[in-house]
Amino acid sequence: MSNNSSARRPKSKATTTASQEPKAPSAADDTHVMPSKPVERAKSTGLHIGEAAPGVAKVDPIIVADGIRRTFGGLTAVDVEHLEIPRGAITALIGPNGAGKTTLFNLLTGFDKPDAGTWIFDGTSLSGVPAFKVSRMGQVRTFQLTKALGLLTVVENMKLGAKGQKGESFWQSLIPGIWRKQDEEIEERAMELLAKFKLDAKADDFAASLSGGQRKLLEMARALMSQPQLVMLDEPMAGVNPALTQSLLDKILDLKQEGMTVLFVEHDMHMVRHIADWVVVMAEGRVVAEGDPHTVMRDPAVIDAYLGAHQELDLGVVTGRYSADAADSTTDAAASTKVKASDLEAAGMAELEDTSK
Amino acid sequence: MSAATATSTPVVHIDNIVAGYLPGVNILNGCSLVAEQGELIGIIGPNGAGKSTLLKAIFGQVNVRSGSVMLEGEDITGLRANKLVARGVGMVPQNNNVFPSLTIEENLQMGLYQRPGAYKERLEFVTGIFAELGKRLKQRAGSLSGGERQMVAMSRALMMNPKVLLLDEPSAGLSPVRQDEAFIRVSEINKAGVTTIMVEQNARRCLQICDRGYVLDQGRDAYTGTGRELLGDPKVTELYLGTLGT
């Protein structure tokens, strides 16, 4: 596979870098000059029908989920009554750690089976459909903890992502003439995508040699190899070098422009605000709010679920480790001195008892 | 509790370690850390910076290719887990941290199997911090939620009266209110005299309670300082604390 590929590589690289040229100079400025606003792209609006509330119907949903429940022992990880994801838009799924975001991703993509519930992707029921079929149907995902195949090269990882490869059939694989041309096309596409994600220089390195951030990029690029309709990104920014963030945001906006639907999990609120058209907030397995980013982030229920009720407190002061004059500047020092650590502890225990009932 | 007073050998001294899982791929590229007697150390940093790997390096779960890990002046690099526990290293992993088919009591006993005689005394210490566990000793650990399991795991690690307690993301998977509770517990454990090294995603909370923090980036200790210094450092704020600001 790799013998003939290296001979052809320079050519395809040349063409792709040429097409990248106009963009290149901006990369350097990107890092400082505020989170530079390249071209403010229009948000998609008018996605929902009626008032924005958890489970609101969408004008053109690509995913419709109903009554999805998943429990692990006594813990209910996901309990979603109704959820619709709008087509052709960028939807962010946010919520505190343990809210069930990744579990929901796993369920929707067939990596896990729910205790109950049904969901429809693009008009087809996906309940019980295994992950590899889900991805063939045009719904691909990336992982929070990347799953690159370390002992394949970067470009080989990419080529795995392409679907409908003729060489996958045992008998056809024996006759290179059948698949060689397709393989070349796939490789060319792979190199184009790698160039977009600035990984082309690494094409012939083992994927294991990539950093966590680069693996994230590779995984996203590989997902695109299957030419999906819906791309699901699990914390695409986590571990990615902050200097790359801006260009990665642009990549995601590009996907929308190309007609794909994007659903992503993210903790970085700046990113959510910047690119999401719609935000779904989960907490303790349930969808607690939905809406456009600006409205959702002012919603008290969201602030409570996401930030916690005590963000104004400095726990160092509460626990008596530090005096009030040394308090964290983002917190309320006076309030921190008044709260008792034992009360916060009791609040935690009380919540625990609530949830275990 | 303060670092400045300690002139004796540090409890944990990690010197310039290089470590990784796959051959030829290093996760830690020359990382150093010092924990003095009674300190609460917080390790923060972006995903993939090597935070958990650093804990695993102390606990002998990853190949340390060069550099050393010293416990009170003795080299413990690459020792096996049972030896480390006997020498006083307590580890609380993030996942799979209890024996689900055993009761809480049996879990605690497992923590002390190398020195069963001290059970009563240690149980008293542990239930002094986690009072509610004392009332539920006969409950099966498998029936507990993630946060409760974390408590059992911490208690089990404390049973051996460790010289240093290693915590891998004690707040992971907890709601904000319960996270605060977890941090207060960690602070209490530390106040009881246990030197503690904690890896955390919730950087702000972690820095608020810790004596000193290390910011890891790409397998190196990029910044270190007291928790307060790091909280106030604009660079750390920008990169790792984040804000929901408007």
Tell whether ipTM is more than 0.95. Answer: no
Instruction: Label each residue of chain A as H, E or C.
Output: CHHHHHHHHHHHHHHHHHHHHHHHHHHHHHCCCCCCCCCCCCCCCCCECCCCCCCCCECCEEEEEEEEEEEECCEEEEEEEEEEEECCCEEEEECCCCCCHHHHHHHHCCCCCCCEEEEEECCEECCCCCHHHHHHCCEEECCCCCCCCCCCEHHHHHHHCCCCCHHHCHHHHCCHHHHHHHHHHHHHHHHHHHHHCCCHHHCCCEHHHCCHHHHHHHHHHHHHHCCCCEEEEECCCCCCCHHHHHHHHHHHHHHHHCCCEEEEECCCHHHHHHHCCEEEEEECCEEEEEECHHHHCCCHHHHHHHHCCCCCCCHHHHCCCCCHHHCCCCCCHHHHHHCCHHHHHHHHHHHHHHHHC
Averaged pLDDT for residues B183-195: 93
How does pLDDT run across A119-135, given as a tens digit for each residue? 888 888 888 888 888 87
How does pLDDT run across B52-62, given as a tens digit for each residue? 899 999 998 89
Q: Please report the pLDDT score of residue B184 as a whole number.
A: 92
B189 or A207: which leads in pLDDT: B189
Q: Please report the pLDDT score of residue A26 as a whole number.
A: 42
Q: Please report the pLDDT score of residue B13 as a whole number.
A: 95
Q: Please report the pLDDT score of residue A318 as a whole number.
A: 87
Q: Which residue of A has its CA nearest to B241?
A: A268
Q: Please report the pLDDT score of residue A2 as a whole number.
A: 43
Query: Over 50: is that where the pLDDT of A336 sits?
Result: yes
How does pLDDT run across B77-136, given as a tens digit for each residue? 989 888 999 999 999 988 888 999 999 999 999 998 888 888 999 999 999 888 888 888
B186 or A29: which leads in pLDDT: B186
Q: Please report the pLDDT score of residue B47 as a whole number.
A: 64
Averaged pLDDT for residues A62-74: 87
Cβ–Cβ gap B208/A211 under 8 Å? no
Averaged pLDDT for residues A141-153: 78
A344 or A261: which leads in pLDDT: A261
Q: Does B205 touch chain A (CB under 8 A)?
A: yes
- Name which of B21, B98, B184, B189 to mutate to probe chain A: the one with the most chain A Cβ atoms within 10 A of its Cβ: B184
Q: Does B183 touch chain A (CB under 8 A)?
A: yes
Chain B positions in Cβ-Cβ contact with residue A96 (cut-off 8 Å): 175-176
Q: Please report the pLDDT score of residue B64 as a whole number.
A: 92
User: In sequence order, what are the beta bridge partners of A61?
Assistant: A86
Q: Please report the pLDDT score of residue B178 as a whole number.
A: 80
Chain B positions in Cβ-Cβ contact with residue A98 (cut-off 8 Å): 146, 172-175
To the nearest whole percent, how much of chain B has pLDDT over 90? 51
Cβ–Cβ gap B177/A309 under 8 Å? yes
How does pLDDT run across A215-236, given as a tens digit for each residue? 888 888 888 888 888 999 888 8
How does pLDDT run across A166-180, given as a tens digit for each residue? 777 778 788 877 788
Q: Does B204 touch chain A (CB under 8 A)?
A: yes
How does pLDDT run across B8-67, given as a tens digit for each residue? 789 999 999 999 888 888 889 999 999 999 999 999 887 678 888 999 999 988 989 999
Query: Over 80: is that where the pLDDT of A329 sits?
Result: no
Q: Please report the pLDDT score of residue B24 as a whole number.
A: 80
User: B45: how many CB neighbours lie within 10 A of its CB?
Assistant: 28
Query: Over 90: is that where the pLDDT of A333 sits?
Result: no
Question: pTM for the whole thing?
Answer: 0.59
Cβ–Cβ gap A349/B132 under 8 Å? yes
Q: Please report the pLDDT score of residue A40 as a whole number.
A: 64
Q: Chain B: give the shortest CA distance to residue A343, in Å.
A: 9
What is the pLDDT of chain B when averaged over all its residues? Answer: 87
